[in-house]
Structure 1
Amino acid sequence: MDLYGKKSKSVPQKLIIHLLEILLLWLSYRILFQEGGAWVENFLHIDNAGVQKGRRMIIFIFNIVVFLRLGFMMIVLLQRRIPWEESFSVPLAFAVYYVGFSILVLPTQKAVDGLDIFAIVLFIFGSVLNTGGELLRHRWKRLPENKGKLYTGGFFKYSRHINYFGDLLWVTAYAVITRNWYAGIIPVLLFCLFAFYNAPKLDHYLKVKYGAQYDSYAENARMLIPFLY
């Protein structure tokens, strides 16, 4: 967690991340709308229904929004140093969303319905919690009078890691759009990663850095899911 105390623009690393993300978007488009779907069917033996384009379009729009959000957060909000290994591990993780969900939606023939509208709302809400929460914190930390203080306002007053919770929501929305039971494994694994690794590790860092400030905050805010966990 020493990365959180090291500031750097990390321009080369961010450039690689974005180039790889663009490559993944192109691959996603090929799978959803071009001959990539036929390749998946022939070599991975996953049905390519090719009938219902609506939900495929939703998946691709989700991909574009996630790409733009990630770009904004890395260029504008992210202040810490990015190690070289992270410039490859981040795109690898997002390949699960861009490519994984694109593959999982291929067999689905069901037309878009009310449940999909709910998933779109869930995606928007999760995106706002994640990016909006980070933006509010970024603005707060830029004020000189807040130097050395722990941010506990905005969405973070409902959860110590509300940004992670937002991630869980928009990833779950992806899974719902696919209407593929296997897709549900992805948000479940993400929850386990956040609940048992990322969040506890970051909690330890914050406790060491902020001491009593963090102890008081932890007593009044859940770790991950507001009001529950």
Structure 2
Amino acid sequence: MYGGYDASTGPKALVTTFNTAAVAGAVWFLFGGADTVAHWFGTDFDEAATLRRVLLAALSALYLLRFIATNFVMLQRRMEWSEASTIGVWVLVIHGTMAYFGGTNEAGVSAFTWLGVALYLFGSYLNTGSEYQRKLWKKRPENKGKLYTEGLFKYSMHINYFGDAVLFSGFALVTGTLWAFAIPLIMVCMFVFMNIPMLDKYLAERYGDAFDAYAARTAKFVPYVY
């Protein structure tokens, strides 16, 4: 999963196709498709306020745009077909979950909804902003082969992962339902127990003492906390 650099055009195109289909399906469900799905299962769905549905569709679309930028502009490492397939299924679950729980919530839009939007935007900045800072730094010839510890990464070794946790918590808040928080909860568990240990092992092997010094002075996931 970590190490090795190539375009991985096929796998990245596959996961982007999954993501695009997931967003299209979410938008369809939010603006008319819910009745069709309800008919399939012989039930009825409540309909969320138009503003909530518009916000949910916009957040899904924004995530897709960021995803494309990350995959084809900022992500330089190799992506395997298995990873692309796994992430592809996961984004279907994410967009489907948010569209279903948010789109069928009749509760009115409140201050918590707008707090969710703010968290989503802040988390997006932490994730994409940190990746962009690192990309610019690594383009400089004098930094070739060095460990990046600057910018937003000086506050957390995995600030990009923390950004994802924040943005999806915000996304869940916009749905107005507790059930949607299963998505950021699962994501945090995957980061803490799978992705971070694997990435730390790779970085420790590649950068040695430089990584050890970085790990000793920097929070692993949540800035100033953990």
2:71 matched residue in structure 1: 74
SS of residue paired to 2:220: coil
2:164 matched residue in structure 1: 167
Q: Is 1:7 aligned to residue 5 of structure 2?
A: yes
TM-score, normalising length from structure 2?
0.94
Alignment-mate amino acid for residue 31 of structure 2: F
1:133 to 127, 130, 137: 130
Distance in 2 (CA, whole Å) between partners of 1:112 and 1:205 is 44
2:219 matched residue in structure 1: 222
Identity level (%): 34
Tell me, which stretches of 5 or more residues in structure 2 are unaligned? none
More divergent stretch after superposition (123-132 vs 113-122)? 113-122
Q: Summarize deviations over 1:157-211 as a string: whole Å, max 9, x none.
A: 0000000000000100111111111112221111111111111111111111111
**Pairwise CA RMSD:** 1.5
Tell me, which stretches of 5 or more residues in structure 1 are unaligned? none
Give aligned pairs, total: 226
SS of residue paired to 1:193: helix
TM-score, normalising length from structure 1?
0.93
Q: Is the 8 A contact 1:160 1:222 kept in 2?
A: yes
Distance in 1 (CA, whole Å) between partners of 2:85 and 2:113 is 32
Distance in 2 (CA, whole Å) between partners of 1:29 and 1:65 is 12
2:204 matched residue in structure 1: 207
Q: How does 1:1-229 map to 2 (within 5 A)?
A: 3-34=1-32, 36-43=33-40, 48-229=45-226
Q: Summarize deviations over 1:7-65 as a string: whole Å, max 9, x none.
A: 1111122222222222212211111111x212343455775222511111111101111
Q: Is the 8 A contact 1:119 1:176 kept in 2?
A: yes
Q: Is the 8 A contact 1:46 1:107 kept in 2?
A: no
